[in-house]
Amino acid sequence: MSRGHNNLRISRIISSAGLLGQQRLQYPLVAAMVEEVFGPNALLPKSARSCKEFWVPAMDDDEEKEDLRRRIEELESLKSAQWIVRGD
């Protein structure tokens, strides 16, 4: 199965949680995905576009979306700073 199809499944899970009245599950799921995509030990860096353009926007709570957007920016800044320090 393609990575794109699996990323679409993740988007649907996030959206479905909201539709089923389980918005409280959206933030922890997407926050964990943000760390796996952008964190220092990222296992899913190829899913960055899906995370930014689909997973975060699929959440219902605007404040939580903004919190995760800031976290993504923070993690991307840290990664950029590491490259500058290391010279990669």
pLDDT, one tens digit per residue, over 23-48 is 999 999 999 999 999 999 999 999 99
Give the global pTM: 0.86
Q: How confident is the model at residue 5 (pLDDT cuts 50, 70, 90)?
A: confident
Contacts 24+ apart (CB under 8 A), 20-28: 23/59, 23/60, 23/61, 26/58, 26/59, 26/60, 26/61, 26/64, 27/59, 27/61, 27/64, 27/67, 27/68
